[in-house]
Every structure is written in C-alpha cells, then in structure tokens.
C-alpha cells in the first residue's frame, strides 16, 4: 500500500529545548529516532532518511509576520530579554538560546517533506519533530514557536495544490493551523481534541466552521474528558473519511500528537498506543483512498516521553514505510538499555502495545445513541460541518 517514504531527521532538532522541567523534553525525539534505528526501519529500501535546511525568512513569512520572526531571532540571541511580548518568555514558551535556529530547522524539515511529496519523489513524508500546531501569525503559544504544519500546507498551496486536507489528532485543538487557513477554501482543517472547556487552548468548538469565504472549511470534534480507545476511534471514523471523500484532497497532512494517551500528564483522555497505531493506519489508508497516497505525517504533543511517544511515532514511521510493526513486537533490549542510561528508568516498555484489543464501532454500523456523550459530540460536529459541505449529517 505504501509508495515509498521519506523520514526527516537532523539530530539538531533536539536543540528545540525549553529547559529543565519543561514538559516538551527533546529526549522524546532522540528516543523515537533511536527506536526507529533499533528496529532497522532506517535501513528499509522504502524509507529514505533525509535532512533539510532550516526554513528561511521568505518561507517563514508564508505564515508568520516578519516582526515576529525578527523577535524570535533577537530573543534567540538574548533570551533574558524576553518579557512575554509575542508570547515569548512565558511559562509555556520561555525563550532559549538558539530558539530561532532550532524552530526554523524543524519547520524546514516539514516543508521539505511536503515538497518531496508534492513533486512525486515519495508518496509519504514524516517529520515527527514537527506538528507544532499552536503557533500563530505573530505569537508563540503552547510550546510552539513556528507553525511547521501550517508552513508545509502554505508551501503546498504555493506550489500549486488546490485542495489540502489537514487532520489533527492531538489532544489539544489545532488552533494555529485552523487560524492560518480560516478563510481559505483550498484547505480543510479537521481537529479531534479534548473539549475546550477542559483543556488549552480553549478553542475548537463545533461551531467554529470557517470564514465567510470558506464556510465548512474548519471542522472541530470536541471530545468528552475520559474518552477511551473505542470512543476516540469511533469519533475519528464517524467524521474524517466522510469529509475526505467529499473534499478529495490532493495531499493529506496529519498531526499525530501522542498526548491523547492515558499516561499523558497534561490531558484527560484515555487512549492507548494501540488506538494511536490504528488511527495512523486509518489515516494512511485514507491518504491512499482519497489523495492518491500523498501523505505528510507530523508529530505534535506527547509528554509521556519514554513510555508512549517513542512507541507511537515509531509505529507511525513503520506504517509510512510500508512495514508496520505487529503490536506484540518486543522492544529491542538495546533501546531499553539506552533509556536506562539516559533517564535512569528501569521500567521502559517491553512491547509495542499496551495490550488493548479494540473493536471500532462506526456510526454507519450502529447509528446514533442519544444517551452517549461521545455520540452527542460526534452529532454536534456532523450537524455543524456536514451541511456546509453538501452532506447529510
């Protein structure tokens, strides 16, 4: 099913580091790449590992204002001068030395992967260091400095794409990407996230549906706290494939934040690695079904940096490479030893599964249950989004 993939990796992306004690610990990136290598995925003939240059100002300006870029560069050289202006110097987004360079490097990887997919060099591109979906035109937010996901989409549009779909399965609303394309009918943004009453950034209500020139171009599914595997996958399958079938994107861009997991310390969903793997498999399949296989997959949030993130994103890489790992696969001892050496933790995961067996109940199979809060959320989204796209809710 895969047509070749390109994994973007430069060890310097681990310099995206807000400092000790910050949840966005760059060890999650290094451990993911080491797990990819421990499984030998980087040696597969259908997976090319590549690095790209940092995004330059002309590329960053596709989404961000020049005064913001200048501020990031200035505070990158003098982090102590950050005072909260432009969202920099806050507890979520403290300024750090080399901030501009590391952020631009991550953005450059996502943009280069998008270009490779659009040019037909590969079917799939993966940048698990990316997915920094909260950054706005002129401000940092939610651990995100430059919005690489929006920049990749903007580059696709610049190169001639007429329809790009973005599906965000991070536990937090993909607000920055939605904002970037709020009034652009060429982009369909779909975000599946914990309810904004419960979680940052407090947006992503079903009624947020796009600007006057792009009504129905933004779709938001706000999930009840505590939603687990079956409900989460039911929600995904009850909204996303229907919209993609109608929109027929030329490229599918997806964001795979791993913070939906039940061990994640910053949110309140109860999803397993097994469900996250199944979601990645579904999105891969929909890329082939609806966008001729053109798929750019990004990382995102995820703060269980040893137990969850490396396994979930290694599954993502394996799926993109056409060599999915069976869930019962044992984690290589060499990787577990590395975890112990880096973190002192003797209890790293032993298998690529949380041991969950999941049956997906689709909307079409079972219909609407008015007593189920999950179904109420799905119905609210379908009612808000489907008619604007000429679909029955």
**Three-state secondary structure of the chain:** CCCCEEEECCHHHHHCCCCCCCCCCCHHHHHHHHHHHHCCHHHCCCEEEECCCCCCHHHHCCCCCHHHHHHHHHHHHCHHHCCCHHHCCCCCCCCCCCHHHHHHHHHHHHHHHHHHHHHCCCCEEEECCCCCCCCECCECECCECCCHHHHHHHHHHHCCCCCEEEEECCCCCCHHHHHHCCCCCCEEEEEEEECCCCCCCCCCCCCCCCCCCCCCCEEEEEECCCCEHHHHHHHHHHHHHHHHHHHCCCEEEEECCCCCECCCCCCCCEECHHHHHHHHHHHHHHHHHHCCCCEEEECCCCCCCCCCHHHHHHHHHHHHCCCCCCCCCECCHHHHHHHHHHHCCCCCCCECCCCCCCCCCCHHHHCCCCCCHHHHHHHHHHHHHCHHHCCCC
Q: Does the active-site annotation cover 261?
A: no
Q: Which of 64, 133, 134, 172 is catalytic?
A: 134
Residues with catalytic function: 134
């Amino acid at each position: 099913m895969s047509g070749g993939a390109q994994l973007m990796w430069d060890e310097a992306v681990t310099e995206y580091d807000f400092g000790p004690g910050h949840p966005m610990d760059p060890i999650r990136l290094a451990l993911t790449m080491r797990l990819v290598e421990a499984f030998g995925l980087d040696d597969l003939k259908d997976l090319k590992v590549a690095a790209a240059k940092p995004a330059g100002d002309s590329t960053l300006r596709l989404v961000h204002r020049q005064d913001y870029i200048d501020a990031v560069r200035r505070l990158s050289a003098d982090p102590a001068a950050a005072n909260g202006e432009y969202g920099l110097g806050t507890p979520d987004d403290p300024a750090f030395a080399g901030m501009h360079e590391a952020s631009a490097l991550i953005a450059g990887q996502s943009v280069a992967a998008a270009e490779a997919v659009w040019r037909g060099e590969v079917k799939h591109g993966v940048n698990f260091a990316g997915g920094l979906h909260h950054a706005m035109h002129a401000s940092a937010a939610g651990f995100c400095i430059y919005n690489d996901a929006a920049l990749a989409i903007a580059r696709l549009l610049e190169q001639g794409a007429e329809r790009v779909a973005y599906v965000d399965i991070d536990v937090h609303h993909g607000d920055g990407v939605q904002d970037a394309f709020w009034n652009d009918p060429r982009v369909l943004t779909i975000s599946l996230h914990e309810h904004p009453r419960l979680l940052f950034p407090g947006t992503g209500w079903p009624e947020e549906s796009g600007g006057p020139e792009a009504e129905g171009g933004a779709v938001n599914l706000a999930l009840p706290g505590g939603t687990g595997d079956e409900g989460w996958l039911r929600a995904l399958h009850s909204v996303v494939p229907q919209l993609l079938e109608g929109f027929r994107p030329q490229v599918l861009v997806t964001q795979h934040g791993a913070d939906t997991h039940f061990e994640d310390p910053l949110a309140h969903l109860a999803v397993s690695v097994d469900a996250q793997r199944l979601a990645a498999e579904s999105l891969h399949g929909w890329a082939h079904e609806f966008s001729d296989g053109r798929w750019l997959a990004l990382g995102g949030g995820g703060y269980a940096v040893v137990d969850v993130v490396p396994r979930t994103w290694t599954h993502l890489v394996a799926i993109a490479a056409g060599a999915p790992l069976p869930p019962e696969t044992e984690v290589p001892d060499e990787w577990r030893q590395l975890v112990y050496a880096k973190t002192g933790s003797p209890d790293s995961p032993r298998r690529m599964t949380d041991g969950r067996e999941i049956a997906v109940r689709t909307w079409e199979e079972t219909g609407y249950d008015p007593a189920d809060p999950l179904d109420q959320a799905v119905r609210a989204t379908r009612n808000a989004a489907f008619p604007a796209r000429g679909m029955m809710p």
